[in-house]
Structure 1
């Protein structure tokens, strides 16, 4: 199936997925003498701003790579705010599709990651053989570009070694664990006691906090 009219108006977002609509000008691809050809020949159909050069020239051998070109044109517009070619008339846009090379994505938006810009520009290659040959080729590229580093490993980083928690558990004896808890408790108590003294608070504040369940002298009564 060759859609032949991939454009923003025909792509809808639903529950996190892109859904292609309007197959009014789509044509089924059939096998003929070992090659793929369209059942209707010699008619340029589609939307000029997103039509591949072979579509614009009414090439009878348009195949699925025309849809890859249209996807590139749509991505180009999403990134730059304009389609690859514009013109006063549909005919001028069709002529540009056939004869002119589009400006590089970064000409209109320098902040686009280089890998993404090159992917889009390859989709817009004039010759179908120079584009991605299957849409499946684009999936891993876009998946990589969605990572925080844009598909690139930051320089100077090293992989984090895996921690063998089972080995750590085997080495942790009950006595060692109990000793660590005692040391941690003593350390916390020492810090709290130091804070009580530093703030000038009475000792019963410290003993009341660490001696839960024990009876300590009641705090002195304050009178006005």
Structure 2
């Protein structure tokens, strides 16, 4: 993995790792269509995906808070007040803690299950508080202590108010749902007192002496005002959430989750509002583009890339700019993993698979080079092994043509130097590093050799403690043959890899098609095909999480 990359946007998905293999960055998404207003609670729209994740996170926070607070309160009661019915309180606290632990699961539960947990968490908390007040009022009434009775009654009202505001603050929802909880919490003091009278009718005289009309009216007013404020607060927060969600719309695209960021901008999972098609959107902010002409250059190169029709090049659906100058382009949404993940999670790959994957990459580069485009940042993170039309290990070349502007002079492809970082050190050709002469399409072929070396051996051709050390080694040191790093690398494939990694461009293959034909002629070329790929993906237990192209 590079120690210095121009833009770290590549999301990955979790997988069953090979023992001892390096773990890749983990990020998974549900490939289902994104529901309208997903993530918004209480706005009268369907909810799924992000909304359930938000509710689960909020319930987890509430459960943790309630568990800790009630445990500390119980300990204090036992130590200083000889709390009665502590067994019931312990059972309720354990129930809350159990729900909280379940909510920490990496999966997102469905709405019905989460709402049941909401009722359980607040109901159990209300039960614990009611038990404490019930015991306090009972002790005070038996002692004929009206001051303690009034104090216990006020504590119950305060606890009911805390539950109202906690629900309004933490739980996303609409005012109708909030009103049901607020009324239940408001009824808690009266229900506790009624239960005390039902179980101890002899205390009617003591409690009746304390429960004056003035005190009852004051308590009811306080509860109703608090309930009204909590219901209104839930409504206001719901409106703000909806406004924030609507603000994330980009023309006809609805942004969902931020899935990557880097020096130039951010990448979002999104959905086309009319087609209901999931996609990935990269935003390039004007203040992060670096120069006045950057956005115009990006737009020009996106148009050029969009004209490429090869199936192994990521599809660009759309592009544009917002009113504030933010440039964006929309790409297809893929399922699978990058070759960086493949290496990190599963280690060195068989020669046949390496050939199968890189032949596709060469075919994609052949069309791009023919159109006058040089990728300049070929690396495992920009080669995506996708599932397409039931086929696996279908290579998609990502992040194409957005780093530098390209010129075509007398049939030779060159790139004008800009402020943008030149690429990823482990996969940069020596002439790309030195910057002393124009570079052409053969820097991409060098990078293909670097990717092959990594896939075959599990390590880069050149490594170092810093990006500078890697680049110095790439320009100065000879390449260690892959067979010296890992035995079993076929001799014919090794010759191809070493030719790609030649220091001088003239020592490499003339073009991507020549490299593809050389790979096809290897004896291991027939060892892997789409059937082998399908078997590997299923037998490895690798979940095909959807990952956004970047």
Q: Assess same fold via TM > 0.5.
A: yes
Residue pair 2:456, 2:482 contacting (<8 A) in 1 also: yes
Classify the secondary structure of the residue corresponding to 2:497: helix
Query: In terms of Rg, which structure is larger?
Result: 1
Out of 487, 491, 495, the residue aligned to residue 110 of structure 1 is 487
Distance 1:115 1:33, change over 3 A: closer
Distance 1:33 1:95, change over 3 A: same
Q: Show the counterpart of 2:442.
A: 65
Residue pair 1:5, 1:25 contacting (<8 A) in 2 also: no
Give the ranges of 4+ consecutive aligned residues of structure 1 lying more than 4 Å apart after TM superposition.
Answer: 41-44
- CA positional deviation for 1:33: 5.7
- CA positional deviation for 1:64: 0.6
Cα shift readout 1:94-139 (whole Å, capped 9, x = no counterpart) = 1111111110111112211100011111000000000001010122
The answer for unaligned runs of 5 or more in structure 2 is 1-372, 528-550
C-alpha distance in structure 2 between counterparts of 1:30 and 1:2, whole Å = 10
Alignment TM-score, normalising by the size of structure 1:
0.61
1:12 corresponds to 2:384: yes
Q: Show the counterpart of 1:147.
A: 526
| Structure showing the higher strand proportion among its residues | 2
Distance 1:42 1:34, change over 3 A: farther
Distance 1:138 1:35, change over 3 A: closer
Out of 503, 521, 527, the residue aligned to residue 126 of structure 1 is 503
Residue pair 1:44, 1:57 contacting (<8 A) in 2 also: no
Alignment of 1:167-206 (within 5 A): none
- CA positional deviation for 1:68: 0.3
Classify the secondary structure of the residue corresponding to 1:18: strand
C-alpha distance in structure 2 between counterparts of 1:65 and 1:20, whole Å = 17
Classify the secondary structure of the residue corresponding to 1:140: helix
Distance 1:44 1:3, change over 3 A: same
C-alpha distance in structure 2 between counterparts of 1:42 and 1:101, whole Å = 29
Residue pair 1:38, 1:60 contacting (<8 A) in 2 also: no
Alignment of 1:199-218 (within 5 A): none
1:2 corresponds to 2:374: yes
Q: Show the counterpart of 1:165.
A: none
- CA positional deviation for 1:140: 2.1
The answer for unaligned runs of 5 or more in structure 1 is 149-224
Classify the secondary structure of the residue corresponding to 1:70: helix
Q: Show the counterpart of 2:409.
A: 32
- CA positional deviation for 1:42: 8.5
Residue pair 1:44, 1:56 contacting (<8 A) in 2 also: no
Aligned residues: 148
Q: After the TM superposition, which of the residue ranges 128-137 and 30-39 deviates more from structure 2?
A: 30-39
Distance 1:31 1:120, change over 3 A: same
Classify the secondary structure of the residue corresponding to 1:72: helix
1:77 corresponds to 2:454: yes
Distance 1:108 1:62, change over 3 A: same
Residue pair 1:55, 1:62 contacting (<8 A) in 2 also: yes
Cα shift readout 1:37-67 (whole Å, capped 9, x = no counterpart) = 2133697610001111011112341111000
Cα shift readout 1:158-183 (whole Å, capped 9, x = no counterpart) = xxxxxxxxxxxxxxxxxxxxxxxxxx
Distance 1:62 1:91, change over 3 A: same
C-alpha distance in structure 2 between counterparts of 1:83 and 1:37, whole Å = 26
Q: CA RMSD in A?
A: 2.1
Out of 71, 79, 87, the residue aligned to residue 464 of structure 2 is 87
Alignment TM-score, normalising by the size of structure 2:
0.26
C-alpha distance in structure 1 between counterparts of 2:406 and 2:400, whole Å = 14
Q: Show the counterpart of 1:21.
A: 398
